[in-house]
Amino acid sequence: MDYQFILTEVHDRAGLIRLNRPKQLNALNGTLIEELAAAAEAFDADPAVGAVVLTGDERAFAAGADIREMAEASAVEMLLNDRIGKWERFRKVRKPMIAAVSGFCLGGGNELAMACDMIVASETARFGQPEINLGVIPGAGGTQRLTRAVGKALAMEMILNARMLTAEEALRAGLINRVVPAEQYLGEALKLANELAARAPLAIRLAKEAVNNAFETSLTDGLADERRSFYFLFSTDDQKEGMKAFTEKRKAEWRGR
Ligand code: HXC
């Protein structure tokens, strides 16, 4: 498939989506978001792919929504276009998604990284929500996901006062999973994605759903949903194979059935 602002590749069983507007620091315009959603959905539907990595380039993962594109928009245009509504398509991706971040990861860029399931960062990565400098606030989950990830104190500072975090600070705050040397961040993310892709697919899918559910529901309902998914997995061939392989002291062969 030919895209204008992204590139896609497959590395073993990991699908890779590269944001490709390097001159604009991968600023997210409407077409790019459309393409991103379409590519993520295509990988989600592709049985050859078990997990997806989303990346930018060395200088920037993404420096936010495209400011030039929205600068003159009216509230009514923003509402009718509802570009951010399209981000919901991302949330529906069932396979694990990993953001591989180098350089600027700001505004909508940080929101995009946080919409993934895990974040692997280069030591050069910088995370922030600088929308306040433009007279607005985050619009694609920044106030919600960042607060859940790093807590109120740091989220307030980042969102109200445009504080940027280094990769090490983001790691300590619980925003990201790993920090690696600059030349390794993409390889590390692809390695992690391939590890996930080699695991039992149905269990991976329900595990992702269950963890995300922890942010949506009461503990009682979350525990009940988790338990139902756990019991359900006993109807799969993979559960029988996984437990049999354990007792036979061999590696399980997953079928996703
Ligand atoms: C459009 C952008 C952009 C953006 C950078 N560029 N960020 N264009 N939208 N968000 C463009 C610049 O205009 C410039 O183009 C080129 O990329 C390189 O950027 P420079 O500013 O020259 O680079 P540098 O001096 O290294 O500064 C990097 C930077 C700065 C600190 C990241 O670019 C910056 O502050 N960018 C904006 C960050 C931001 O405010 N993000 C939040 C956006 S609002 P030219 O043509 O001049 O060379 C948002 C809301 C999300 O994300 C809502 C939900 C989707």
CA 194 – ligand 1 centroid, Å:
32
Q: Check pLDDT > 90 for residue 1.
A: no
How far away, in angstroms, is 145 Cα from ligand 1 center? 22
Selected catalytic residue, list 39, 51, 65, 189:
65
What is the structure's pLDDT at 225?
A: 98
CB 96 within 8 A of CB 120: no
DSSP labels for 70-127?
HTT--HHHHHHH-GGGGGHHHHT--S-EEEEE-SEEETHHHHHHHHSSEEEEETT-EE
The pLDDT assigned to 60 comes to: 98
| Ligand 1 center to 29 CA (angstroms) | 12
Q: How many CB atoms lie within 10 A of CB 202?
A: 20
pLDDT band (50, 70, 90) for residue 2: confident
pTM of the prediction? Answer: 0.97
In whole angstroms, give the CA distance from residue 130 to residue 157: 11
| φ and ψ at residue 39, rounded to 5 degrees | -65, -40
CB 238 within 8 A of CB 256: yes
Question: How big is the CA angle at 133 (ends 132 and 138), to the nearest 5 degrees?
Answer: 35
Measured CA to CA, the distance from residue 167 to residue 214 in angstroms comes to 26
pLDDT in tens, 159-188: 999 999 999 999 999 999 999 999 999 999
Distance CA 37, CA 30 (A): 11
pLDDT tens by residue, 211-252:
999 999 999 999 999 999 999 999 999 999 999 999 999 999
pLDDT of res. 113: 98
239, two tokens? 């559960």
Residues with Cβ within 8 Å of 235's Cβ and at least 6 positions away in sequence, in order, are none
Work out the mean pLDDT of the chain and round it to a whole number: 97
Q: Among 19, 28, 17, 18, which Cα is nearest to 52's? A: 17
Q: Is the CB of 159 under 6 A from ligand 1?
A: no
* Annotation marks residue 111 as catalytic: yes
pLDDT digits (tens, 9 = 90+) for 51-82: 999 999 999 999 999 999 999 999 999 999 99
Q: What is the pLDDT of residues 113-160, one digit of tens each?
A: 999 999 999 999 999 999 999 999 999 999 999 999 999 999 999 999
Which two three-digit tokens encode residue 199?
């695991």
> Is ligand 1 within 6 A of the CB of residue 26?
no
Tokens of 110: 């940080």
**pLDDT score recorded for residue 45:** 98
